[in-house]
Amino acid sequence: MGKNQSVKGNFIYNNIEKLDKNFMYKNLERSNCYNCEFSGSNFNFVNFRGAHFKSCVFFECTFMWAEFIGTNLKGSDFENAKFENTLFDSVNLEGVDFKDAEFINTIFLSTDITKAINLSVNTPGIKIYDEMPVLEISDELRTSVLNVMKNKFVKSARVLDTKDGGINVINLMILLTHFDEETLIKGLNIIETDLNCDFHTLSYIVKYLKNNM
């Protein structure tokens, strides 16, 4: 095993077994793994931004609120895996097998699912967006989102902005399924001034708002 020192907590694995492990809440951003076995492991609330997990086995793994953003999963196996509130954004799914995988509220954005195996537009529990959707929001909500992105921890997490600096509409849509607009505006204003710790996935914002509103 090796450590990629550019991101605290991530790792480099090659040709190893990590069975039934608990990786919950880990920041695996820019991790690099090849031909590894992770069967039965817990990847709930994990950030896979910019990571490479090629030819890996994730049999019966769980991915609740996990975020695959710019991730390379080429040739990996997710047979019987469970995905809930999971995001796949700009992910390489070439040769990825989702045989008997379970999906609940899972979003595929700017991701070619035709390259995957046992996954289609008719798969239950998924939503597919070829590109970032358009969402009409009030000026007050837009201002709150732009202001909260000035918080250094929110800015670092990259959960509310896109790579070109715009608002991440997908994640805003997700927040609006959990909170009405008035509550969300108030909550974002609280986060702007009060949130003072590192986090890595949108699930933290959801939990923070539910605990503080």
> Is it the case that residue 4 has pLDDT exceeding 60?
no
What is the C-alpha to C-alpha distance for residues 108 and 126, in angstroms, rounded to an integer? 7
pLDDT of 3: 43
The pLDDT value recorded for residue 212 is 87
Starting at the edge strand found earlier in the chain, the sheet holding 52-54 runs 12-14, 32-34, 52-54
The mean per-residue pLDDT over the stretch 3-13 comes to 68
Element (H, E) at 157: helix 152-157
pLDDT band per the 50, 70, 90 thresholds, residue 213: confident
Query: Residue 10 has what pLDDT?
Result: 79
pLDDT at 86: 98
Give the confidence band of 2 by pLDDT, cuts at 50, 70, 90: very low
pLDDT of residue 11: 85
Task: Give the residue among 171, 193, 134, 150 at the shortest CA–CA distance from 49.
Answer: 171
Q: Is the pLDDT of residue 100 over 60?
A: yes
* Widest distance between CA atoms in the chain: 51
- Work out the pLDDT band at 115, boundaries 50, 70, 90: very high
Tokens 């190893």, located at residue: 16
pLDDT tens, residue by residue, 35-64:
999 999 999 999 999 999 999 999 999 999
100 compared with 165, residue with greater pLDDT? 100
Do residues 144 and 124 lie in contact, with contact meaning Cβ atoms separated by under 8 Å? Answer: no
The pLDDT score that the predictor gives to residue 57 is 98
Determine if the pTM surpasses 0.85: yes
The single-letter DSSP state of residue 113 is G
**Is residue 207 packed enough to be buried (19+ CB in 10 Å), middle (13-18) or exposed (0-12)?**
middle
| Alpha-carbon span 209 to 33, nearest angstrom | 34
pLDDT in tens, 143-155: 999 999 999 999 9
Q: Please say if the pLDDT value at position 180 is more than 50.
A: yes
| H or E element at residue 205 | helix 202-212
Q: Is pLDDT above 90 for 163?
A: no
The average pLDDT across 181-190 equals 96
- pLDDT for position 165: 83
Does position 5 have pLDDT exceeding 60, yes or no? no
